[in-house]
């Protein structure tokens, strides 16, 4: 496949409607995780250009917020239409910079576009209230107003949709946004900027900083007083640092951080469907999503049957170049990620785990790790405590409902959890007892524009998508009208 719309592939940053280089001419290279081939050289912007982007964005926001909700909605709708018209090309760009199979990449683009469509509609529904008053001559009214200039720091695992999930809501609310995409996946962000420009999003309202110096850019985004809100998707470790940095200028923050999702298969579950659920929740994006199932718990009575069936399905996965037809597992993002999962599997093996499929690197390329199923795992192993972020499925054995709920909750994370079972009362009990922001019951796929995405505990706070998502970018203003006689 070749790119149909070549204008989507950019090698400059996008600030205030202009394609710019670094002030000092610095650049950095990004490579295809499949084979290490250099696919782009991009400006390595620093603090000065970031400050400039924020200031321009501030000017633009003052005009953008005065547009009617209908006007903003029409522009966003056009952006959505352009994303859909260019979905194959956007998918191609995503695959070469991130590695995921093309079909999955196009799926992400459609998912990403759906946030723009959704928030184009929600722009018109940011209602305030008229509140019954405490006094005869007083009237109480609330309105919702755009918070101002927003900063977004987005991850490499979803280079398209993690931007649109934030930008769609921000722009619909009347905010402008300065986006710092992950340093190794900025091409999807720049392609989105091409289409934003074509859709009529005014200069300065949507900006993309390309940089290899993430912490320098982060310092400016978190300390500049013009930025009134930071939305971050990434690791809990980095999220904690950003929260601290935002405290000095008291910014509103939303954090979509790490997870350690349990996936429970009860004795009465439909085993085939549970296996299907694990395949989706564990192996999507080669196991590199925050909501990937991390710890799989199967009841002892079905443990053998479940692990055998799971292993059979895992063996059918085809590793390869994401651009090739039939590939359903692409490379991991880099060697560091491969080394990390290698260490986790070795730790499990040393402590007694059995590898029933996979368990090592693949000869397809250095960035590949074979989809792996581990049995005889226990809570002393690192796979129980750490976010795996790779194609490793450790299957633990449990006996009772209370034991498994306690195990599932025994983590500092609280993003997503899944379970399969049929008993109606048990389903309610377990769904309520799991300490997570999102729970999939008899399904391994919970992500949709229509539902609130987000976690609790050290997985963060704030919700994205759904009717709640736009509130993250709005302030409530209370107006008290006196002397009403």
Q: Could you tell me the smallest distance in angstroms from the CB atom of residue 256 to ligand SIN?
A: 6
Q: Which of 276, 290, 387, 472 is catalytic?
A: 290
- Exactly one of 114, 447, 449, 466 binds ligand SIN (CB under 6 A); that residue is 447
Tell me the two tokens of residue 178.
């300065």
At its nearest, how many Å lie between ligand SIN and the CB of residue 17?
29
C-alpha to C-alpha distances, 197 to 2, 74, 157, 194, 327, nearest whole angstrom = 23, 14, 25, 5, 34
| Choices 124-132, 266-274, 287-295, 325-333 (CB under 6 A): range interacting with ligand SIN | 287-295
- Spatial distance between the Cα atoms of 293 and 383, rounded to a whole number of angstroms: 11
Q: Are 54 and 109 in contact (CB under 8 A)?
A: no
The one among 34, 158, 306, 396 contacting ligand SIN by CB under 6 A: 158
Does the active-site annotation cover 49?
Answer: no
Q: Compute the half-sphere exposure of residue 230: CA atoms within 13 Å on the CB side of its CA.
A: 32
Task: Give whichever of 73 and 157 is closer to ligand SIN, judged by the CB atom.
Answer: 157
**Span of 11-19, 284-292, 328-336, 376-384 interacting with ligand SIN by CB under 6 A:** 284-292
Nearest to 3 by CA among 158, 191, 210: 191
Residues 212-241 that bind ligand SIN (CB under 6 A): 233
Stretch that binds ligand SIN, among 137-145, 201-209, 288-296, 320-328 (CB under 6 A): 288-296
Q: Which residues contact 350 (CB under 8 A, 6 or more apart)?
A: none
- The percent of the chain in helix, strand and coil, each rounded to the nearest 5, is 40, 20, 35
Selected range binding ligand SIN among 67-75, 270-278, 286-294, 402-410, rule: CB under 6 A: 286-294
Q: Mask 251-270, x = binds ligand SIN (CB under 6 A)?
A: -----x--------------
Ranges of H-type helices in 22-157: 47-64, 69-85, 87-98, 102-122
Q: How far is the CB of 157 from ligand SIN (least distance, A)?
A: 5
Question: Looking at residue 469, what DSSP letter applies?
Answer: G
Shortest reach from residue 303's CB to ligand SIN, in Å: 28
Q: How many residues make up the chain in this entry?
A: 485
290 as an active site residue: the answer is yes
Q: In what order do the strands lie in the sheet with 293-299?
A: 354-357, 372-375, 392-398, 293-299, 261-265, 416-420, 438-441
157 binds ligand SIN (CB under 6 A): yes
Binding residues vs ligand SIN (CB under 6 A):
157-158, 233, 256, 289-291, 447, 453
Give the catalytic positions in this structure: 256, 290
């Amino acid at each position: 496949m070749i790119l149909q719309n070549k204008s989507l592939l950019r090698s400059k940053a996008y600030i205030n409607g202009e394609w710019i280089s670094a002030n000092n001419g610095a650049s950095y290279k990004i490579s295809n995780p499949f084979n290490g081939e250099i696919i782009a050289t991009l400006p390595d912007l620093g603090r000065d250009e970031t400050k400039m982007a924020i200031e321009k964005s501030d000017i633009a926001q003052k005009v953008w917020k005065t547009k009617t909700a209908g006007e903003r909605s029409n522009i966003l709708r056009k952006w959505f239409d352009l994303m859909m018209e260019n979905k194959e090309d956007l998918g191609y760009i995503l695959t070469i910079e991130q590695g995921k199979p093309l079909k999955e990449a196009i799926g992400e683009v459609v998912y990403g576009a759906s946030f723009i469509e959704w928030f184009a509609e929600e722009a018109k529904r940011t209602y305030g209230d008229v509140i019954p008053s405490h006094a005869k001559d007083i009237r109480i009214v609330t309105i919702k107003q755009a918070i101002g200039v927003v900063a977004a720091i987005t991850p490499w695992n979803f280079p398209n949709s993690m931007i649109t999930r934030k930008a769609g809501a921000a722009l619909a609310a009347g905010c402008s946004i300065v986006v710092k995409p992950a340093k190794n996946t900025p091409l999807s962000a720049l392609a989105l900027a091409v289409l934003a420009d074509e859709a009529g999003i005014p200069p300065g309202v949507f900006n993309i900083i390309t940089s290899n110096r993430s912490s320098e850019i982060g310092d400016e985004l978190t300390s500049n007083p013009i930025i009134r809100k930071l939305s971050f998707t990434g690791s809990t470790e980095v999220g904690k640092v950003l929260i601290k940095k935002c405290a000095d200028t008291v910014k509103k923050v939303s954090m979509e951080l790490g997870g350690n999702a349990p996936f429970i298969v009860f004795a009465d579950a439909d085993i085939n469907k549970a296996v299907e659920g694990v395949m989706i929740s564990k192996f999507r994006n080669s196991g590199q999503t925050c909501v990937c199932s991390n710890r799989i718990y199967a009841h002892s009575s079905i443990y053998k049957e479940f692990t055998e069936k799971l292993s059979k399905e895992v063996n059918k996965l085809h590793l390869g170049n994401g651009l090739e037809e039939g590939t359903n597992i692409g490379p991991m993002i880099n060697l560091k990620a491969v080394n990390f999962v290698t260490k986790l599997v070795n730790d499990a093996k040393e402590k007694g785990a059995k590898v029933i499929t996979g368990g090592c690197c693949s000869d397809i390329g250095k960035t590949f790790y074979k989809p792996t199923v581990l049995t005889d795992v226990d809570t002393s192993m690192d796979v129980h405590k750490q976010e795996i972020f790779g194609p490793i499925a450790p299957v633990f054995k449990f006996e009772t409902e209370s034991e498994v709920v306690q195990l599932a909750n025994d983590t500092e994370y609280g993003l997503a959890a899944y379970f399969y079972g049929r008993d109606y009362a048990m389903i309610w009990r377990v769904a309520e007892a799991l300490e997570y922001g999102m729970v999939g019951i008899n399904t391994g796929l919970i992500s949709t524009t229509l539902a609130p995405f987000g976690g609790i505990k050290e997985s963060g706070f704030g919700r994205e998508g759904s009717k709640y998502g736009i509130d993250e970018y709005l302030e409530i203003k209370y107006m008290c009208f006196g002397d009403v006689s």
